[in-house]
Amino acid sequence: MLNVVWAYPDILNLHGDRGNLFAIERIAKLLGLETNVKKIENYKDKIDFKNTDIILFNVGEIKVMPNIIHALNSQERELKEYIEEGKFIILIGATGSIMAKETLRKDGTKFEGLGILDMQCIERENVYGNDLHFTLKENENLEIMANQIQLIDTKLNSDIALGKVIYGMGNNYEQTEGAKYKNVIFTNALGPVLVKNPWYTEKIIKTAMENKGEKVEESISKEQFEIEMKSMECIKKFIENKRKEE
């Protein structure tokens, strides 16, 4: 059984990224696993960290992040134990500010994050949008294709990048994408990213199961990812044409 917490689905509800949850359920089923999804809907709700394998924070507005940070701080000890055990937290887009050291708002105010990821977030004056193509730092052969609708720039204070940018802005035009500490993963990638890149979803699920001593023997054939792979190749060609015009 794969146990997933879907954090604040009615609050973190931008860009149709609820599809990330559906992708986890779909890939888990192909791997022969049942998925138990627990919604955390209110700031007063507590997360059962001991019985959770993946916590998913989809994209939300920056203004709600201090409330989420406050809610998670009420379970600080359990959260840190969960992270140090190598369990997964996935944060998409501006929601990465939850785990950052601090976020600077464009009105000059700022708020502290949980400080799990050694980075600073800066709210943009204008929203940035483009395709995003990158490889994982831990496996350069694993490509991720997505897009960005970016509300924040991210400055990494140490070598914690999730990936290396092939095309797009990534964090802030420095050719790094996202951030990672143990299995706390922040990415700017939308799409939804776990729908467009099911090979990455498979990797996450298998690792999450191994973390609790359950090895998944099943593997998903390339034929089952045929549509997503063809989509990636089409977008690569589209990006190449854009490069020629730039």
CATH 3.40.50.880 corresponds to the domain 2-245: yes
Residue with structure tokens 């997360």? 47
Q: Residue 223 burial (CB < 10 Å; 0-12/13-18/19+)?
A: exposed
DSSP secondary structure code for residue 190 in this structure:
B
Nearest one of 51, 47, 54 to 88, comparing CA atoms: 54
**Mean pLDDT (whole number) for 234-243:** 92
| DSSP SS3 for 245 | helix
State the Cα–Cα distance between residues 233 and 215, nearest whole angstrom.
31
Lowest mean pLDDT among 66-70, 94-98, 216-220: 216-220
Measured distance CA(35)–CA(48) in Å, rounded: 16
Q: Report the mean per-residue pLDDT for the chain.
A: 95
Residue among 88, 36, 32, 37 nearest 220 (CA): 32
Q: Judge whether residue 61 has pLDDT over 80.
A: yes
What's the length of the chain?
246
Average the pLDDT over 78-92 and give the result: 97
- pLDDT tens, residue by residue, 20-59: 999 999 999 999 999 999 999 999 999 999 999 999 999 9
pLDDT at 246 over 80: no
Give CA–CA dist 82/89, Å, rounded: 9
Q: Count of H helices and E strands in the chain?
A: 6, 12
Paired sense of beta strands 88-92 and 35-40, if any: unpaired
Cα distances (angstroms) measured from residue 172 to each of 4, 156, 208:
30, 9, 30
Q: Where are the domains of the chain?
A: 2-245
pLDDT band of 17, cuts 50, 70, 90: confident
